[in-house]
Amino acid sequence: MPMIQTTSEQRCFGGTQGFYSHESRECGGTMRFAVFVPPAAAQGRVPVVYCLAGLTCTHETFTIKAGAQRVAAELGIALVMPDTSPRDTGYEGATGDWEVGEGAGFYVDATEVPWADRFRMYSYVANELPALIAGNFPVDPLRQGILGHSMGGHGALGIALKNPDRYRSVSAFSPIVAPAQVPWGEKAFGRYLGKDRAHWAGYDATELLARGTFPGTILIDQGGADAFIDNQLKPELFETACLRTGQALDLRMHRGYDHSYYFIQTFVEDHLRHHAAALA
């Protein structure tokens, strides 16, 4: 079993909040991640929810800002927070632009130079990390859920739709639901995946719905005062695709809420309960 290094562990709501690192095969270097293990894990393996953060974020962002541990402890759910990209790559253009490169991995397996060697966040989050977590933490890999925010919401929806046999639940906060149709996604997919838009479709939640639906209701919360809603998020595109394909969707619009972690803090309990119901 691959080794992990413990950076720190703190007692939290009767469980443990830890920060770790390991040498990643997919990302070609050291990757950092955080795990919350609830008190119920003392009695046996617990369900696990992967929490994917957005642009500019690290493994610390959701961990520190979402306020998810109290309810995860109550529900007996482990949380895993990966970083959003490989780090210290030295690639030209990998730093200095918050929309692409380090901190902006977009949960795809890049095919273009120079990104292809290390920017493999799809395979990292969907395959490598769950195996690492199952081998080192008291989680039940047959009871997995996934959620995310913004770029991480795109990641969660896409990974769940591509692997409906491996995730029992999925939810998102203010997700980029149609990356192939908005500036953030067009920029990142163009750099990582090249010009062939047919390839992009394999990572676009709205397009993936045409290939197959998720066997459960998808929960999405979206702030009505989110500055990115009209040009980057476009929840209506996913809503229309769900109606067309018969995908069960609970899209909740919240007047006055923006794109921040204050919005996530407000509704994270509902998301964890959504996952707990499916992972029981």
Ligand X SMILES: N[C@@H](CCC(=O)N[C@@H](CSC=O)C(=O)NCC(=O)O)C(=O)O
Point out the residues that are catalytic: 150, 226, 259
Residue 58 within binding range of ligand X, rule CB under 6 A = no
Entry field: residues in the chain: 280
CB closest to ligand X, residue no = 54
Of 36, 137, 214, 261, which lies in the binding site for ligand X, with binding defined by CB under 6 A?
Answer: 261
- Minimum distance from CB of 59 to ligand X (Å)? 12
Spell out, one character per residue from 134 to 173, where the chain touches ligand X: x when CB under 6 A holds, - when not: ---------------xxx----------------------
Instruction: Put residue 6 in one of left, alpha, beta given phi > 0 → left and psi -120 to 50 → alpha.
Output: beta
Residue 260 within binding range of ligand X, rule CB under 6 A = yes
- Of 106, 227, 216, 122, whose CA–CA distance to 170 is shortest? 216
- For ligand X, the closer CB: 33 or 261: 261
- Of 214, 79, 120, whose CA–CA distance to 160 is shortest? 214
Number of residues that bind ligand X (CB under 6 A): 13
Element at 79 (helix H, strand E): strand 78-82
Rounded CA gap, 173 and 259, in Å? 9
Task: Answer whether 119's CB lies under 8 Å from 86's CB.
Answer: yes
- Minimum distance from CB of 237 to ligand X (Å)? 16
Residue 222 within binding range of ligand X, rule CB under 6 A = no
Instruction: Indicate the DSSP class of residue 209.
Output: T
- Of 208, 172, 201, 168, whose CA–CA distance to 186 is shortest? 201
- For ligand X, the closer CB: 86 or 153: 153
Of 21, 56, 136, 266, which lies in the binding site for ligand X, with binding defined by CB under 6 A?
Answer: 56
Rounded CA gap, 231 and 106, in Å? 17
Residue 21 within binding range of ligand X, rule CB under 6 A = no
Q: Checking DSSP bridges between strand 5-12 and strand 15-24, what pairing results, if any?
A: antiparallel
Residue 95 within binding range of ligand X, rule CB under 6 A = no
- For ligand X, the closer CB: 133 or 264: 264
Q: Measured in whole angstroms, how far is the alpha carbon of residue 213 from the centre of its chain? A: 18
Spell out, one character per residue from 181 to 220, where the chain touches ligand X: x when CB under 6 A holds, - when not: ----------------------------------------
Rounded CA gap, 80 and 141, in Å? 12
Task: Answer whether 224's CB lies under 8 Å from 171's CB.
Answer: no
Please choose, out of 41-49, 124-132, 193-201, 255-263, the segment that lies near ligand X by the rule CB under 6 A: 255-263
Please choose, out of 57-65, 137-145, 156-164, 208-216, the segment that lies near ligand X by the rule CB under 6 A: 57-65
What does the binding site for ligand X look like in residue numbers (CB under 6 A)?
Answer: 54-57, 61, 65, 98, 149-151, 259-261
